[in-house]
Amino acid sequence: MADIPHEAEADLPPLEVPDVMPPHAHSWLGKWVFSQDAKYIAIQYSGTAVAIGLVALVLSWLMRLQLGFPGTFDFITPEAYYQFITMHGMIMVIYLLTAIFLGGFGNYLIPLMVGARDMVFPFVNMLSYWVYLAAVLVLVSSFFAPGGPTGAGWTLYPPQAIMSGTPGGAQAGILLMLLSLILFIIGFTMGGLNYVVTVLQARTRGMTMMRLPLTVWGIFTATVMALLAFPALFVACVMMMFDRLLGTSFFMPALVEFGEQLNYGGGTPIAFQHLFWFFGHPEVYIVALPAFGIVSDLIAVHARKNIFGYRMMVWAIVIIGGLSFIVWAHHMYVSGMHPWFGFFFATTTLIIAVPTAIKVYNWVLTLWRGDIHLTLPMLFALGFIVTFVNGGLTGLFLGNVVVDVPLSDTMFVVAHFHMVMGVAPIMVIFGAIYHWYPLITGRMLNETLGQIHFWVTFIGAYAIFFPMHYVGLVGVPRRYYELGEASFLTTPVDGLNAFITVAALVVGAAQMLFLFNLGWSIRRGRDAGHNPWRATSLEWQTPDVPPRHGNWGDRLPPVYRWAYDYSVPGAPDDFIAQNDPATPDPQAVPHGVRP
């Protein structure tokens, strides 16, 4: 390593934003409820997301009970089944994954990792959470509305979404869903503005963009993408709401329902699909990019090695972000598009696999000859890599039009997107919580409970989704309440379906163990001390653990290096913090590096 000689702190560039202490709350209400501190807002976001995620988990149990043991549970009617599907999908994708990665980790980590005192617009940040909470409450209220929540499927395709034959279509269900999504987007926009401007303007002295941890790069790029992609969903929701309430026909062709001509005509349902997937595919990466960034940092810290190909990792994040806007129609191969469009979107879909593969190779090469500590964050990071590769490979199959057409609308697709967009990012969320819980609370999570949680979740997820690929391959369609006469299947799948259901129940139960661990360890967990993982990035260098209001005490930390100086030859320890000005002597005995 050829270090450029250290220069005095005076040589670091000045701050973009003056160092001003953000507004300090003095009351309990101001601190814990109407908090403007990004750390508390992060906890509020995460708590709400986990709570609504638990609802979605229970819904998945109910769906699996129907599929595994059809006809056994009288309360699971066909209407209820479709409502469970819809709410499970929408909650998991939007209200849990997007909210926790951007609102949760984004709020907690961005100011700390860039060396800022808080987000640049703390009041707007607080509003962002409250609008998100309103969105969640509106969504939950649809469970209690006459007719129940919408059962249109999480893609909400018109015209069926607002027809009386669909659960919640002619009642309040679909309207509450659309209203909730509109609120979510408004709330997210408020938060997103904060994340982007904070990364651009509030970095501490010496923290260039190319010294940012990949976690920040991932969250930053995902936020930019979300700010550009969510307007498509916003427009789609508003237009569908108009169709349902005000009699417009944006997405509604001339229709006959139960022998009666409806007052619609001239609209095109395909327009909704384009709008939805223009948001929907970037959404995959809005969830994936923060996960990519976080997992890069977890691997570097717990393998005590600098991230392999940092530049490539940054470029890959940016390129994936850009490309994700020109692949959306691969979700619409069966909508009757022109073959040339299919060819175009298949090509872009395959191209996006290249930067994604670069990231996977770089994670593996970071692990190569690293000092791997099989801590809980590392276990979940490894679980993510394996799962993401599995889900990504089946994505390559489905990216091809000729393979996608027969597999579309089968359980193969369900298994694919659960691997790549469900299990994989959730592995990262768990890994991240195990990693940063000591910073947030000052205590370690219980190791034994964590090990049980990891292995049951990891093996259980494979017990669910590997057989599900097979179930799809033999021809089981998705979104079927029950198979009925199933002679079209090449193999009976009753046993497999029951097995998958049992596995799903067990994996769900393991999450209760995790929640118990979260609560138990706040008081009884081992004291974490300062920087228990011996990490280099700034969030671990705060004067107090957990960080106090304003994060940095009297003065902001100057940054002298990138975030991955692990096992540097000649350094007294096997890591050098970003705010450590010391230049190691390259002639000294290497520490922590195997010859």
Task: List interacting residues with another protein (CB under 8 A).
Answer: 1-7, 11-13, 16-17, 120-121, 189, 192-194, 196-197, 200-202, 206, 208-211, 224, 227-228, 230-232, 234-235, 238-239, 242, 246-250, 263, 266-268, 271, 275, 278, 306, 310-311, 314-315, 318, 322, 325, 560-562, 564-565, 581, 583
Distances (CA, A) of 335 to 140, 342, 565: 32, 10, 50
* Of residues 203 and 330, the one with the C-beta less far from another protein: 203
End-to-end CA distance of the chain: 15
* Of residues 188 and 514, the one with the C-beta less far from another protein: 188
Name beta bridge partners: 443.
527
* Of residues 129 and 220, the one with the C-beta less far from another protein: 220
Q: Which of 48, 84, 248 is nearest to 173 (CA)?
A: 84
Token match 């996006």: residue?
352
| CA–CA gap between residue 292 and residue 189 (Å, rounded) | 22
* Of residues 229 and 295, the one with the C-beta less far from another protein: 229
Shortest reach from residue 39's CB to another protein, in Å = 20
The dihedrals phi and psi of 121, each to the nearest 5 degrees, come to -120, 80
* Of residues 17 and 459, the one with the C-beta less far from another protein: 17
Q: Which of 372, 359, 380, 382 is nearest to 437 (CA)?
A: 380
Give yes or no for a contact between 153 and 89, defined as CB atoms under 8 angstroms apart: yes
Neighbours of 382 (CB within 10 A): 22
Q: Which of 378, 344, 158, 179 is nearest to 248 (CA)?
A: 158
* Of residues 384 and 564, the one with the C-beta less far from another protein: 564
* Of residues 239 and 376, the one with the C-beta less far from another protein: 239
Give yes or no for a contact between 464 and 500, defined as CB atoms under 8 angstroms apart: yes
| CA–CA gap between residue 277 and residue 284 (Å, rounded) | 10
Radius of gyration, CA atoms only, the chain: 25
Give yes or no for a contact between 112 and 547, defined as CB atoms under 8 angstroms apart: yes
Cα–chain-centroid distance for residue 466? 22
Shortest reach from residue 235's CB to another protein, in Å = 5
Shortest reach from residue 241's CB to another protein, in Å = 10
| CA–CA gap between residue 108 and residue 440 (Å, rounded) | 9
* Of residues 235 and 518, the one with the C-beta less far from another protein: 235
* Of residues 17 and 518, the one with the C-beta less far from another protein: 17
Shortest reach from residue 9's CB to another protein, in Å = 9
Shortest reach from residue 455's CB to another protein, in Å = 35
Q: And the tokens for 82?
A: 């479709």
Shortest reach from residue 332's CB to another protein, in Å = 15
Shortest reach from residue 186's CB to another protein, in Å = 10
Name beta bridge partners: 260.
257
The dihedrals phi and psi of 257, each to the nearest 5 degrees, come to -125, 125
Shortest reach from residue 413's CB to another protein, in Å = 27
Shortest reach from residue 282's CB to another protein, in Å = 11
Give yes or no for a contact between 467 and 496, defined as CB atoms under 8 angstroms apart: yes
Give yes or no for a contact between 227 and 330, defined as CB atoms under 8 angstroms apart: no
Shortest reach from residue 539's CB to another protein, in Å = 18
* Of residues 85 and 202, the one with the C-beta less far from another protein: 202
Shortest reach from residue 406's CB to another protein, in Å = 30
Name beta bridge partners: 256.
261
Within 13 Å of residue 458, how many CA atoms lie on the same side as its CB? 22
* Of residues 212 and 463, the one with the C-beta less far from another protein: 212
Burial (CB < 10 A; 0-12, 13-18, 19+), residue 559, is buried
